[in-house]
Structure 1
Amino acid sequence: MSNTPIPPKIKNQLLVKSGGRCQFRGCNQSLYKDLITKRDFNKSYIAHIVGDKSTGPRGDVIQSPILANALSNLMLLCDGCHRRIDSENGIHFSVSELMAMKKEHEDRIENVTAIAPNMYSHILTYKANVGMFTPEMSYQTVSQFLYPTYYPAMADTIDLSLSNSIQRDRDTAFWTTEVANLEAQFDRKLFQNYAKGEIKHLSVFAFAPIPLLVKLGTLINDIYTCQINQKVRNPDTWNLDDDTTAVKYTIIGPEKKHKTVALNISLSATITNDRITQVLGEECDVFTITIDNPFNDYLKSKKHLEDFSIAIRQLFNQIKAKYDAQTPIHIFPAMPIAKAVELGRVWMPKADMPLYLYDQNTANGGFTKAIEIVNS
């Protein structure tokens, strides 16, 4: 326990830098309000990293007197964490561990409080069963990925998901039910509030079968200012980085012209054209957009997403110039989450050809048509 009086100026600086929260990693408890009674009062403790006495927790004969009142050597803690770091004379936590906790916490507070007041964003979440997997997507799991560019407009998400669905994507009824729910939830929770001017920016977190993600994108369209987030496996994050390295998209057109048109999107995996003609027949014009060595975790930067948006828009225009406007494009996708949403966003409901979206499911023997998106 500290025996050194801390000057008021140093105390105030520590309170500001900590944001009034416990600096022990993983705690972050607010220290000005009782959790039970909700009454305001100061329940913080100021702890020394290097003990203020050489015989105290992590004490040092030389450093203890020098750092006794140093801001760099003080942590703001709750009662429990204060007792935790000093128990058994501090043998369980080293100086370097506590210094790292203090820095992480104060850097986070600095990043959050440095965000411009107009950079708030509403979190939009949507999830649906993928095979036997049901994704987890709560406010707690995704809100951290807004910082430091945005901060949450409210302490909850705008969730468009169908709760507790027992249907699976191998079932025909799954698609009808999910689309109906998605459209209804979007209109009720998003469109009406946007029309009132209550929503300025969206941060989109979605995890669902690709056809549903494209459908979501068509609802968002380019009317909403938004950031589409991508689940990256390595490193484990929802944030795309700022790498400006370009990805080359290769467009392969058909050799002949038939009445049936398909789009092969081979980005996260390779789809061979014979898998498409097995469904649509041999008299089918297949356009392909792909990259060198497709794999499922290649999308990592914002530039990759922006470049795809341009490439798919140009490809839609190219196809539209060759075929009747009411000819549907049969889309066979192997693509990242964010690009599926972006594909839907760039599709223009009044000008582009209808989209027939297919889903690959081994339980159904391959690709089957899941959703039709038609011109409005």
Structure 2
Amino acid sequence: MSKTYIPTNVRKDLWVLSGGRCQFRGCNARIDKNFLTDQKVVVGEYCHIVGDSAHGPRGEQGRSSQLASSASNLILCCAKCHKTIDDKALASEYPEQILVDMKREHELHVQRLYDATNVERSIPLIVTGRIRGTPTAIPVDIARAAVLRKTEYTRFPSYSEEVLDLNSIPFIENDPTYWVTVKRSIDDAIDGILRRITERKIQHIDIFALAPIPALIYIGSKIGDRVQVTVHQPQREPFDKWHWPPEKADPPPAVTYFLPEHEGPLDELSVQFSISGSVECDQIKRVLPDAKIANFQVPSPSHSVVDSPEVQRSFVSAWRSFQGEIHERYGKLSKLHIFPALPASLSVELGRCVLPKVIPEMKVWDYMDGCFHNSLSCFMAN
């Protein structure tokens, strides 16, 4: 532990530069309160990059004394991270350059927040639910960081985020009670968000979702396309999960659709969405033997197909054109059956961009245990 006296002006500089947060990469904990008691108390510590003694962590004869009280050689850390950095057993993992990089990255992040002007406020909507029986999780701080960085600090996520956790619903997914409970939970959450937007407390929704596809489509249908929304797509490759990959398909994969041959009005239509995987006609015929089937697809269905905003826009454009052609060929349907193999973000966009005058009701089917099951119905308001 350092014995060097840190001048008051240097301490103030460090608090301003760090934004009152631990500067250890990935921590970012507030260091002005005890989270157990919620009492205001300084729990931050001043950590030397080059030790203030030649015999201390990362110490060096000559430089140690010169840099002992320099703000450029100090990072503000919580007690746990300070102990980690200075632990002798971990010395090889935290050399000088690693700590310099941590300090620079954190202070640049804080400076961008200080410099931001004309910032748009948004509500992060975090949606989690079991997928094939496995619970999912999305850390709120990771979602907030993704909004800031992807928008280059022009949109600021509210700290009164909406977290919709469907993991704990005590029914299995092929139980009708499960979907009734899901629908009620979504209604409560989205109605609250829309009230905040109507009251002009917020301008934008940032959606981060890992949940069953029918739930995501229903969420989209509740929000609609009259609200400013960004739907973030989780990535599977080893880069930041909620950031776009550095390399993407160019141009985006073509989204195409085919309508069944049918003359005159049509009451019901089924659509197989083969985007993240393939949906086969015989899977639909097992549950709807007389179904008229349309196809909506990309050349190579994949969970990684959504690698840029252009893919999302291409999907939405094709989906709207598809609905326009349905209306032109068959008139107004009474019901559209959705059989989806869709990435998370496109599931939400599908629900958002339904044209109620063409499709007053969508019935969404959920694929589980080798077959499709009836799940949710979305009734579209005109």
- Whether these two folds match at TM > 0.5 is yes
1:243-322 equivalent positions in 2, closer than 5 A: 245-257=251-263, 259=266, 260-281=268-289, 284-322=291-329
Preserved contact between residue 327 and residue 358 of structure 2 (Cα < 8 Å): no
Find the partner of 1:218 among 209, 217, 221.
Answer: 221
What is the aligned-residue identity percentage? 28
Partner of 1:181: 185
Q: Deviations over 1:164-187 (max 9, x none)?
A: 311121112322332233224432
Q: Partners of 2:26 and 2:56 in 1: how far apart?
A: 25
Partner of 2:146: 145
Residue 366 (1) aligns with residue 374 (2): no
CA RMSD after TM alignment: 3.2
Amino acid at match of 2:329: K
Q: Partners of 2:245 and 2:270 in 1: how far apart?
A: 32
Amino acid at match of 2:352: R
Structure 2 segments unaligned to the other structure (5+ residues): none
Count residues in correspondence: 371
Partner of 1:76: 76
Partner of 1:202: 205
TM-score w.r.t. structure 1 length?
Answer: 0.84
Q: Deviations over 1:16-40 (max 9, x none)?
A: 2222333234543434446577666
Amino acid at match of 1:262: S
Preserved contact between residue 264 and residue 287 of structure 1 (Cα < 8 Å): yes
Q: Partners of 1:91 and 1:128 in 2: how far apart?
A: 41
Amino acid at match of 2:132: G
Partner of 1:165: 169
Is 265-274 or 246-255 further displaced after alignment? 246-255
Is 162-171 or 328-337 further displaced after alignment? 162-171
Amino acid at match of 2:54: S
Is 251-260 or 13-22 further displaced after alignment? 251-260
Q: Partners of 1:6 and 1:42 in 2: how far apart?
A: 15
Report the Cα offset of residue 257 of structure 1: 4.7
Is 221-230 or 338-347 further displaced after alignment? 221-230
Report the Cα offset of residue 346 of structure 1: 0.7
Q: Deviations over 1:120-153 (max 9, x none)?
A: 2112233333332232245345333322333321
Report the Cα offset of residue 349 of structure 1: 2.4
Report the Cα offset of residue 320 of structure 1: 1.5
Residue 128 (1) aligns with residue 129 (2): yes
Q: Partners of 1:51 and 1:34 in 2: how far apart?
A: 27
Q: Partners of 2:37 and 2:375 in 1: how far apart?
A: 52
Preserved contact between residue 7 and residue 69 of structure 1 (Cα < 8 Å): yes
Amino acid at match of 1:227: T
Structure 1 segments unaligned to the other structure (5+ residues): none
Amino acid at match of 2:177: A
Preserved contact between residue 125 and residue 158 of structure 1 (Cα < 8 Å): yes
Amino acid at match of 1:183: D
Instruction: Classify 1:81/1:271 alpha carbon distance in 2 versus 1 (closer, same or farther; 3 Å).
Output: closer
